Amino acid sequence: MKINHVKSIFAIVLFLAFKPAFAQKEFQGMAVYESKTSTADFKSRISDNKEITPEMQKMIEERMKKMFEKTFILSFDKNASIYKEEEKLEAPGQNGGMRMMNSMMGGGGTYYKNIKEKTYTVDKEFMGKEFLVKDSLPKLNWKMESETRQIGGYTCYKATALMPVSKTDFKNYRLKKKDETKKEDEAKKDEPKKTNFMDDVEIPTEILITAWYAPEIPVSQGPDNYWGLPGLILEVNDGKTIILCSKIVINPKEKVEIKAPKNGKEVSQKEYDETVMKKMEEFKDMGGPGGNRMQFRMRD
């Protein structure tokens, strides 16, 4: 029997062994996650753009840091969880465009997962409108790997899966390579020049997810929309974003009510994506919401 199969079986045995201790009705846990998305490609394009002053570059990088580095709290029991960004005071003067980007980066709403019913509910605000997205949890075909590592004193096991990418998840946007954008510019040299940021980005159809889960915490939960492993997921890496657990509390003194959000117009994920992408196309034609410089084109 291969080593990775042995370790997978051992992880499941651990999951089943610890599960009775966590099965009581009042069981609840809390985990804090630090999420960080790489902005190296964006910073490179900003620094290459001769139209951007050092002062503008500094301001843009500070805003990007706030959007791409976040702290989330996952409250969970044996059947359900809520995942929410840690509450912070909104910066004075934050405009609608920045709030929209924050929402697309996964902030500002409550993500409820019910693994028993295999459904999720998340409240989102987009362009001043509230939406309640309700749909089935994405089914991830996890491949159990042989590697193990320690995270926060827990022995974690590695698992990988290919995951479809949502067009409305800005974290998964990739900047096109410079040679690609140059070729596009040459092909469109006779057309009116556009200055929209979205012209330079592309969205992969799927990404490879690497997760590390702890069978000692026998719940099939995890941060964001990740779930389905025999133990709490303590780290997720999609090649661009890393979500790492920094703190775990089992049966905290202060219990949290784990329930789905209710406010907003109820839509499916597909309906929400179509609404957002339609608006993004409108922004592309207009050069961005409100004429914001946030939509400047990052050119060399």
Yes or no: say if 212 and 151 are a contact pair by the CB < 8 Å rule.
yes
Report percent pLDDT > 90 for the chain.
Answer: 45
What pLDDT shows up at residue 292? 42
Mean of pLDDT values over 242-246? 97
Q: Which of 3-12, 61-70, 121-130, 190-199 has the highest mean pLDDT?
A: 121-130
Lowest mean pLDDT among 27-31, 175-179, 250-254: 175-179
* Residue partners of 274: CB distance under 8 A and separation at least 6: none
**pLDDT greater than 50 at residue 139:** yes
What would the mean pLDDT of 170-175 be, rounded to a whole number?
Answer: 70
User: Quick one: pLDDT at residue 59?
Assistant: 73
The confidence score (pLDDT) of residue 8 equals 59
Measured over the CA atoms of residue 230, residue 231, residue 235 and residue 240, the dihedral's sign is positive
Residue 295 has pLDDT above 50, yes or no: no
Beta strands 129-136; 265-267: pairing state: parallel
CA dihedral 126, 82, 141, 25 (to 10 degrees): -160
From residue 171, alpha-carbon distances to 158, 168, 205, 241 in Å are 23, 9, 13, 7
Q: How confident is the model at residue 6 (pLDDT cuts 50, 70, 90)?
A: low
Q: How far apart are CA 174 and CA 17, in angstroms?
A: 42
Asked whether 152 and 140 are in contact (CB, 8 A), the reply is no
| Res. 89 pLDDT band, cuts 50 70 90 | low
pLDDT of residue 7: 57
pLDDT at 68: 81
User: Angle at CA 253, nearest 5°, toward 251 and 254?
Assistant: 105
pLDDT tens per residue across span 146-158:
899 999 999 999 9
Assess contact for 113 and 259: CB atoms under 8 A.
Answer: no
Report the pLDDT averaged over residues 213-221.
96
User: What's the confidence (pLDDT) of residue 187?
Assistant: 53
Please give the pLDDT value at position 246: 97
Asked if residue 230 has pLDDT above 80, the reply is: yes
- Taking 80 as the threshold, does the pLDDT of residue 95 lie above it? no
Cβ 119 vs Cβ 134: under 8 Å? yes
pTM of the model: 0.76
Supply the mean pLDDT for the chain. Answer: 78
